[in-house]
Amino acid sequence: MRLLQAIYKELLILVRDRAGLAVLYIMPLCLIVLMALIQDAPFRDYKQANIPVLLINADQGAVSKLVYKGLEDAGMFKVDTVLVKDDAKAQASLAVKNGKYKAAVIVTKDASKHFEKNISLRVEKSFSGFFPIKTQIRELAAENSVLVFWDPIIKRTFKEGVNLALESALTNYQADLMIKKVGEKLKKLSPDQHFELDTKPAVLIAQKNAVPVDVALYGLNSVQHNVPAWAIFGIFFIVLPLSGNLIKEREQKTMLRLHLIPGSIPLVFLGKILAYLLIAQTQFIAVLLVGKFLMPVLGLPQLHTGNSIPAIIITVTALGFAAASLGILIGTLFRTHHQASTFGAVSVVILAAIGGIWVPVFIMPKILQTLSTVSPLGWGMHAFNSIFLRGSGISAIWPELLALFIFSGFTLVLSFTLEKFKKT
Amino acid sequence: MSLAVEIGALLKHYKGNIEPALKGIDLKVEKNTIFGLLGPNGAGKTSLISILAGILKPDLGYVKVFEQSVSEKNKNYRRFIGLVPQEIALYPTLTARENLTFFGRMYKVPRKELDDKIQYWLKLLGLDQQQGKLVQAFSGGMKRRLNLIAALLHDPDLVILDEPTVGVDVHSKNILLEQLLELKKQGKTIIYTSHQLEEAEQICDYLVIIDKGCLLTGGTPEKLLHGNFTNVRLEEYFLTITGKELRD
């Protein structure tokens, strides 16, 4: 069979170019490991961030306990506590300045007593109108009971995280304390000796997963993003050797010989596509193995691949087909290796960038999000996110698959037309 | 007179060039002859054989190969043609046998028949011991011989050779020329371009000289030389009719 002979010829040429073949496999593997390691921190959930925060406790009362609990419960901080008798502002400033802590929180001396006293006075003041004899109640001036020293390089999101933890803890405490004091006051005023203020929540929040829990929503982390992303980039990297291979065929005049053999050009093109498709498939298997087994060894999360192996196979096939077709088009379009490799590399990098390979599409500006819909790499990324993160199968990713196959068909038709045109 | 090739009023003008590459060439090549196409660099020889092989489209005129019209629509004629390009049109990282097997299979030559043919030609051209070697390790002469074999595997009736002896040592050249005569004996028609005027004179049945896209003269070597001049060498005759200025 002529097609098998054409594939065999391509594979022989590929296998004998060991350096080129090694690059095709090693490059995506290096990329996924490096990028997953580099992007691990930015991708991590705040709960895993462990930002060092120093709590300087001069209060040693309820407020300091609540601040500690609030920071701990936020999950994103590693809280070290020092007990001091005074406010120790200099100590806090130094701890942040020398870079050991990203923030230092001081709970000032007697902050709890001051807090509780102020709440009691507010409640007294509020109830004073119920009595015929009015008493003058003066609230204590608000004081800075909690001080925070920031490292200037800390990200705004982390700053907001600390503030949220503190505000949430103190506001809840203030509300609880106020309700408790109001309850006590009402109990005194009520004729019913068993009076209790009902403090049960009036509104409940229910949370549900959009997909069944058993299909495992693992969430987007560095591995779940970078492994499929750079695997797709690796698949599209075959554009460079494939376009170069085609230009070489023209330069060494084997293409000329093939033009004389009726019906051989489509077969040779198809042979190249199928040979490189095999490269793409095996490349992807290597990438998956790294994601499954090497990533956990490196301290990164393990790659989860969803539940649909057929969906993975067909997506890789569609991507390989699209990449090989693009390689054929570039090889047909340009006359020299230099032109083809420059255009090929730049176009793949641009398509990768707008396709959400470097960073997920949803954090890109709106205009780039719109542009991402025209990138074949973006279609692949979308398909893999559906398979790996949402547990989807072929039925959910058919629009992306269709787009990839249409792209391949279009580029191939264009390549054949150009090749025919060039011949004359 | 049965014709292998018939060319009429052939015109080819490349974009960007002032002068046409071919200016209305008329040519007839009889079957079972060795036909020499001579001319200096840029004369139009490669354009002419490229059109003949169907690689290039003429702007005007017609080409017939074994009475079949050479056109985009009709590709039947291609199976009658074996082209040996000027360049070594082989895969350097494949072995001699792998190259021949690939091209032979592309021509749909049955596997068994192909193996026999490859063995026959490799032996005949002294390459059977080197068939497992990568082509990139071959000498210039070995590559030229292999280049010729690749064009013969499908048993074409018309073999077109574009300067097949360029850069070849004497021994390889001798074998190549012997094989052209052998091919003629087998009933094939050979169109052959060369700068090597002596070898053309030696093996060709008919010679034409073209220059600047025009056919200047043609005839058997004897008729061409002795009919026009008395006992001149072909080289002298060639310079007389094409001029002595350099052609690059």
Residue A336 contacts B where some CB pair is shorter than 8 Å: no
The pLDDT value given to residue B227: 62
Which residues of chain A lie closer than 8 angstroms to B98, CB-CB?
A: 9, 12
Residue A13 contacts B where some CB pair is shorter than 8 Å: yes
The pLDDT value given to residue B1: 65
Which residues of chain A lie closer than 8 angstroms to B78, CB-CB?
A: 260-262
Does A323 have pLDDT greater than 60? yes
Give the residue on B whose Cα is nearest the Cα of A261.
Answer: B107
H or E element: which one contains A113? helix A111-127
CA dist A248 and A257 (Å) reads: 13
Q: Which amino acid is at A336?
A: T
Q: Mean pLDDT, chain A, as a whole number?
A: 83
Question: Are residues B78 and A261, on separate chains, in Cβ contact within 8 Å?
Answer: yes
Mean pLDDT along residues B218-233: 69
Which residues is B160 bridged to in the sheet? B83, B191
The pLDDT value given to residue A211: 58
Q: Determine the 3-state secondary structure of A261 from DSSP.
A: coil
Mean pLDDT along residues A8-30: 88
CA dist A334 and A9 (Å) reads: 23
Which residues of chain A lie closer than 8 angstroms to B85, CB-CB?
A: 253, 256-257
CA dist A40 and A53 (Å) reads: 21
The pLDDT value given to residue A217: 46
CA distance B85 to chain A (A): 8
The pLDDT value given to residue A213: 46
Banded model confidence at residue A137, pLDDT cuts 50, 70, 90 = low
Write the burial class of residue A222 (CB in 10 Å: 0-12 exposed, 13-18 middle, 19+ buried).
buried
Mean pLDDT along residues B11-22: 87
Does B15 have pLDDT greater than 80? yes
Which residues of chain A lie closer than 8 angstroms to B56, CB-CB?
A: 423-424
Q: Of B173, B82, B87, whose CA–CA distance to B135 is shortest?
A: B87
The pLDDT value given to residue A214: 41
Greater model confidence, B4 or A74: B4
Residue A256 contacts B where some CB pair is shorter than 8 Å: yes
Question: Are residues A256 and B89, on separate chains, in Cβ contact within 8 Å?
Answer: yes
Structure tokens at A176: 């609880």
Which residues of chain A lie closer than 8 angstroms to B46, CB-CB?
A: none
Banded model confidence at residue B106, pLDDT cuts 50, 70, 90 = very high
Residue B102 contacts A where some CB pair is shorter than 8 Å: yes
Banded model confidence at residue A402, pLDDT cuts 50, 70, 90 = very high
Does A215 have pLDDT greater than 50? no
CA dist A232 and A357 (Å) reads: 8
Question: Are residues B57 and A424, on separate chains, in Cβ contact within 8 Å?
Answer: yes
Does A297 have pLDDT greater than 60? yes
The CA radius of gyration of chain B, in Å to the nearest whole number, is 18
Mean pLDDT along residues A398-424: 86
Beta carbons of B3 and B31 less than 8 angstroms apart: yes
Question: Are residues B78 and A9, on separate chains, in Cβ contact within 8 Å?
Answer: no
Question: Are residues B85 and A253, on separate chains, in Cβ contact within 8 Å?
Answer: yes
Which residues is A78 bridged to in the sheet? A52
Mean pLDDT along residues B13-27: 87
Banded model confidence at residue A48, pLDDT cuts 50, 70, 90 = low
Does B29 have pLDDT greater than 50? yes
Query: Within 13 Å of residue A249, how many CA atoms lie on the same side as its CB?
Result: 23
Does A135 have pLDDT greater than 70? no
Instruction: Write down all domains in chain A, each with its CATH number in brackets.
Output: 2-43+218-423 (no CATH), 47-189 (3.40.190)
Mean pLDDT along residues A1-16: 92
Greater model confidence, A13 or A124: A13
H or E element: which one contains B160? strand B158-162
CA dist B211 and B7 (Å) reads: 17
Question: Are residues B94 and A13, on separate chains, in Cβ contact within 8 Å?
Answer: yes
Residue B159 contacts A where some CB pair is shorter than 8 Å: no
Least confident of A103-112, A194-203, A313-322, B126-135: A194-203
Selected residue of B75, B105, B107 to mutate for chain A interface (largest A Cβ count, 10 A): B105
Greater model confidence, B222 or A9: A9
Structure tokens at A110: 């007697």
Beta carbons of B67 and B28 less than 8 angstroms apart: no
CA dist A286 and A107 (Å) reads: 54
Task: Return the number of CB contacts < 8 Å for A and B.
Answer: 72
Residue identified by tokens 């600047």 is: B212
Does A232 have pLDDT greater than 70? yes
Which residues of chain B lie closer than 8 angstroms to A253, CB-CB?
A: 85, 87-89
Residue B54 contacts A where some CB pair is shorter than 8 Å: yes
Residue B106 contacts A where some CB pair is shorter than 8 Å: yes
CA distance A340 to chain B (A): 20
Selected residue of B50, B51, B55, B102 to mutate for chain A interface (largest A Cβ count, 10 A): B102
Residue A423 contacts B where some CB pair is shorter than 8 Å: yes
Question: Are residues A256 and B55, on separate chains, in Cβ contact within 8 Å?
Answer: yes
Instruction: Write down all domains in chain B, each with its CATH number in brackets.
Output: 3-242 (3.40.50.300)
Which residues of chain A lie closer than 8 angstroms to B87, CB-CB?
A: 252-253, 256
Banded model confidence at residue A13, pLDDT cuts 50, 70, 90 = very high
Which residues is A106 bridged to in the sheet? A56, A147
Does A121 have pLDDT greater than 50? yes
What confidence tens digit (pLDDT) does each residue in B199-211 have?
Answer: 888 889 998 988 8
Residue B101 contacts A where some CB pair is shorter than 8 Å: yes
Structure tokens at B181: 């005569």
Residue A259 contacts B where some CB pair is shorter than 8 Å: yes
Mean pLDDT along residues A332-359: 88
Banded model confidence at residue A94, pLDDT cuts 50, 70, 90 = confident
Q: Determine the 3-state secondary structure of A182 from DSSP.
A: helix
The pLDDT value given to residue A216: 42
Greater model confidence, A134 or B233: B233
Mean pLDDT along residues B113-124: 92
CA distance B116 to chain A (A): 18
Q: What's the ipTM? A: 0.84
What confidence tens digit (pLDDT) does each residue in B50-91 have?
Answer: 888 888 888 899 898 888 888 777 777 888 899 998 889 999
Phi first, then psi, for residue B126 (nearest 5°) are: 70, 30
Q: Determine the 3-state secondary structure of A355 from DSSP.
A: coil
CA distance A253 to chain B (A): 5
